[in-house]
Amino acid sequence: MDNLERETAVTRARYQRVAPFYDLMEVLPEKRYIPWRERLWSLVAGPRVLEVGVGTGKNMPFYPPEMEITAIDLTQGMLERARKKAQVSGLKVDLRLGDVQDLEFPDDTFDTVAATCVFCSVPDPVRGLKEVLRVIKPGGQALFIEHVRSEKLLLGALMDLLNPLVVRIMGPNINRRTVQNIQSSGLQISEVKNLGMRDIFKLIVARKSENGEAA
């Protein structure tokens, strides 16, 4: 087992552990996230859509109708809860266990890939984002809501200091430079909007070039 496999196994185990009470942990922050989720999904173009990191299914209420949606998650415990929500709401979605760092889909499969607060936890985020780029059709888009390291000097330094503790307890990295990671993947960023907590939460819109080449 190489280092990436070990890190991925640790991430999977961490989220498997918190899956039974994950929604309870997120009750208060979710009130802030709901309008952000709605905003992201209003931008989705289909018909073929992939959600990476579906978790317990918090984005499901905002899935656009009449689209062919596939949703993956690294953790079986999270996926089981998403499956129950889909059944209760009568939602048609193809739910699969999957790792964004090694997607099982062919090149140029999806019109849109969407992720909300996912790449803070992916062990090799640039590798995962390159996989996102690969499975998007030429001219297709990737939509992200992510929390990132603040560019404010003192706040950024504090996030760096606290990150090891937050990762151990909760799972996500709070000091990821996700905008830069998206640029490094070859996706072409067309829009970055600050959503909350000054410059920490962002909506990022990116595209795959029409000729399918990386930026």
Q: Is the pTM of this model over 0.85?
A: yes
- Is the pLDDT assigned to residue 39 strictly greater than 90? yes
Distances (CA, A) of 135 to 76, 172, 191, 206: 23, 25, 21, 14
Look at residue 211 in the predicted model and tell me its pLDDT.
Answer: 83
More confident residue, 135 or 21: 135
Q: Does CATH place domain 3-58+65-207 in 3.40.50.1100?
A: no
Instruction: Specify the pLDDT at position 142.
Output: 98
Confidence of residue 128 (pLDDT cuts 50, 70, 90): very high
CB atoms within 10 A of CB 30: 12
Tens of pLDDT, residue by residue over 130-140, are 999 999 999 99
Q: Distance between the two ends of the chain, CA-based, in angstroms?
A: 32
* Domain map (residue ranges) of the chain: 3-58+65-207
Q: What is the pLDDT of residues 154-211, one digit of tens each?
A: 999 999 999 998 888 777 899 999 999 999 999 999 999 999 888 999 999 999 998 8
